[in-house]
Amino acid sequence: MRSWRKLLLPLSWIYGIVIYVRNCLFDAQVLKSVSYEFPLICIGNLSVGGTGKTPMTEYVVTFLKEKYKVAILSRGYKRATKGFVLAAKNVSVRDIGDEPFQYYHKLKGVTVAVDEDRRHGIRKLEAENVEVIVLDDAFQHRKVKAGLNILLSTYSELYTDDFLLPAGNLRDLKSQAKRADVVVVTKCPEELNVESRKEIVKKLKIAPHQEVYFSRIAYSDTVRNTAEAIGLDELNDKEITLVTGIAHPRPLLEYLKNEKIHFKHQVYADHHNFTTSEIESLKKKPFVLTTEKDFVRLEPYLENLYYLPITTAFLADEKNFQARILNFTTNNS
């Protein structure tokens, strides 16, 4: 936590009281959580973002769609629409948001929808005859009770070390981690050893019913757009402008620097909506490199645009992670 944010701790205490009361009301069933008779998987976190939720959602859905008709339901953060919207050919990134738009175009055969009212969205998706619904970023949405909760926390910023908003980045109490069935520590260094993992498990105070896994971000060795792929070793002679509108760009910066890629970095807030003047400025850049999430927002306007693909990779026990999810979907279908 940055030193100046410590001044905001009194506000965090007030926020914490509100969140505590809300959770107690759900625990006491004064506020109702709705359960469902088909597999409903929630992938979320306790913090405001940057835990690798998008690549993890893609990972889970990619292996599930080989066996089931899968749907992803998201809120559609910063979209220009309201209510339920089903992704289709005539739907733009402004209609459903950047992450759902990315899911729709990347995960062929998967139904993608957005709705700020998750209960309503689930009812609409039931009409689409889907067999499994993955809730994107819904751990705090307690009006819906998922059958399997997957909680993400980054290696460099474990939720046990963080504080509630606004002093820290947590939007829910640390104690709510107990509701998770699976905890994945994301964005780990590839060389993280077994002893270090055991220490993290101890620090997270994992309950007997929970399983813990460790994953990292795997970067591609090529940058791409809709027309071509270029190897990283071919970028040395290019004047590169790196544009990021994500919560935590540091791992990407470190990866590119380790690959000896030279660039000038233009950083924006997470889910940034680029203005006309910003886009016009980027059009003048000879080579713009960005994230996959930012690519879907900028691609309609820029011809000189490329993105670096990423995927989730597990440090160990990947088959066990997949089996945990497949056992749940099989037993609840």
Residues forming the annotated binding site for ATP?
47-54
CB 53 within 8 A of CB 153: no
DSSP letters spanning 126-193: HTTT-SEEEEES-TT-TTB--SEEEEEEESSS-GGG--BTTTSSBSS-GGGGGG-SEEEEES--TT--
CA distances from 69 to 65, 76, 115 (A): 6, 21, 19
Paired tokens of 55: 């690549």
In the predicted model, residues of the chain with pLDDT beneath 50 are: none
Q: Does domain 3-68+131-217+314-331 have CATH number 3.30.420?
A: no
Q: Which residue has 């070793």 as its token pair?
A: 233
- Determine the pLDDT at residue 2: 62
Paired tokens of 245: 């509108």
Paired tokens of 307: 């993105």
Q: Which residue has 């008779």 as its token pair?
A: 37
Paired tokens of 157: 């910023």
Q: How many CB atoms lie within 10 A of CB 78?
A: 15
SS (H, E, C) 88-102: CCCCCHHHHCHHHHH
Question: How far is residue 231's CA from residue 76's CA, in Å, rounded to a whole number?
Answer: 33
- Determine the pLDDT at residue 5: 84
- Determine the pLDDT at residue 6: 82
- Determine the pLDDT at residue 333: 84
> What are the tens digits of pLDDT across the range 184-207?
999 999 999 999 999 999 999 999
CATH of domain 221-308: 3.40.50
Q: Which residues of the chain form CATH 3.40.50?
A: 3-68+131-217+314-331, 221-308
Residues forming the annotated binding site?
47-54
Task: State whether residue 19 is helix, strand or coil.
Answer: helix
- Determine the pLDDT at residue 281: 97
- Determine the pLDDT at residue 1: 55
CA distances from 331 to 43, 70, 72, 235 (A): 19, 16, 20, 49
